[in-house]
Amino acid sequence: MKKVKIPEATIIRLSVYSRFLSQADERGINTISSGEIAEGVGVSPAQVRKDLAYFGEFGTRGVGYNVKDLQRYITKILGLNRGWSIVIVGAGNLGTAFSRYGGFRKRGFRVVAIFDIDPSKVGNSLNGVCIYHLKQLPEIVKKEKVNIGVIAVPAKSAQEVADNLIGAGIRAILNFAPTSINVDREVELRNVDLSVNLEILTFNLSNYKR
Amino acid sequence: MKKVKIPEATIIRLSVYSRFLSQADERGINTISSGEIAEGVGVSPAQVRKDLAYFGEFGTRGVGYNVKDLQRYITKILGLNRGWSIVIVGAGNLGTAFSRYGGFRKRGFRVVAIFDIDPSKVGNSLNGVCIYHLKQLPEIVKKEKVNIGVIAVPAKSAQEVADNLIGAGIRAILNFAPTSINVDREVELRNVDLSVNLEILTFNLSNYKR
């Protein structure tokens, strides 16, 4: 079966629209226009319509979108209509911040375990999530049917941790370590480099002109 | 003067290429092909050429790019040929992780101060960077000529912190709080929602088909 080729920027925006629709739904709003979504999230109405058009026909001209229906549909597109179990490797500041990050649970993400190799951390818990020794990774991944591994260790250990995660059967990795890691093609890898975000700002600030 | 319209995805990739070129330079590599850059960062060679073409003519057909020249040029495009001073608001786990994040300094970013309102934190230092009370923000921003403010506080305080940063004269904000904030048009704002990264993974894992 062939995957539809969707720009990653569209997926990112769907995720943002979805959050906005949740808030609209919580405020009791039933229908919403592409213009209102656009204004709420800071893109153009045409962009909203174009992003949604990748996935079919939504809404009624002149009436707008039903908030609950659209939200349900985007949730399904993003694969959030089921639960996802996450493990975090690295119980340092970043791993701790990630484990405490608000809003994961309501998006269907559950942090089931944190791993570290520091004996002073192993055995403790963060926000009710236990910190295990990294050697227990295969056992926990299997027991908890973990889908996603988050790498929050220093750059020098990132590849080894990725290999451990994959060896334990994980097929999706979010890497926060500021380094490139190599994984097989069948593993979904997303690198989050915190400096990149700063560099988009500095590009805009510098107002580059040819 | 008119800004050239460059896709954000291109800027993100330039930032990634730049990091890769730094590493190549450190390994003593003088020239590199678009294919080698592509393989190193996991995109297609055509994508590398297309991204660079936004900014002019680079490289020599059949020879490739001079690593140092290309790196210097991308650095300039990204606005990294000068230093940038950053303040972080929020000395929790995320602020702490961000202040310690490796690789900022060599990209030209300097964290000059961290702010919090917790009396048990104010007066301490993280990695040699002092934690000040938030009320000292205007004074420090002025004294240190701060360009960028990073918001690493809970969602409920994010808007107030953004207003404080803007009031102190900051015109570029990186927001890690999982909420939308409103800023004037002249302020460069970048929201980093950690769940979005997970949702790109789950989209790919779910293998959405129309």
The predicted-structure confidence for A115-166, as pLDDT tens digits, reads as follows 999 999 999 998 889 999 999 999 999 999 999 999 999 989 999 999 999 9
Residues of B within 8 A of A180 (CB-CB) are 20, 40-42
The pLDDT, as a whole number, for residue B210 is 43
The mean pLDDT of B78-97, rounded to a whole number, is 93
C-beta of residue A135 within 8 angstroms of C-beta of residue A161 = no
* Cβ contact B199–A79 (<8 Å): yes
ipTM, interface predicted TM-score of the complex: 0.85
Q: Which CATH architecture has domain A84-196?
A: 3-Layer(aba) Sandwich (3.40)
Chain B residues in contact with A94 (beta carbon < 8 A):
93-94, 97, 101
Contacts of A8 in chain B (CB under 8 A): 9, 200
DSSP classification of residue B106? G
Share of chain A above pLDDT 90, in %: 60
Closest by Cβ to A172, choosing from B9, B56, B201: B201
Domain edges within chain A? 8-77, 84-196
Tell the burial category of A155 from Cβ atoms under 10 Å away from its Cβ (0-12, 13-18, 19+).
middle
pLDDT tops 80 at residue B87: yes
Please give the residue that has the higher pLDDT: either A206 or B28. B28
CATH class of B8-77: mainly alpha
Q: Residue B102's Cα: distance from chain center in Å?
A: 13
CA dihedral angle for residue A113, residue B102, residue B14, residue A45, rounded to 10 degrees: 50
The domains spanning B8-77 and B84-196 adopt the same CATH topology: no
Indicate yes or no: CB of A11 within 8 angstroms of CB of B190. Answer: no
Q: Starting at the earlier edge strand, list the strands of the sheet with A172-175.
A: A125-126, A129-133, A109-116, A84-89, A148-151, A172-175, A188-191
Residue of B nearest to A149 (CA): B198
Q: Which residue has the tokens 């805009």?
A: A204
For A59-74, the pLDDT digits (tens) are 777 788 999 999 999 9
Residue A210 pLDDT exceeds 60: no
Query: In the A/B pair of chains, how many CB contacts fall below 8 A?
Result: 202
What token pair was written down for A36? 């209102």
The model's pTM:
0.81
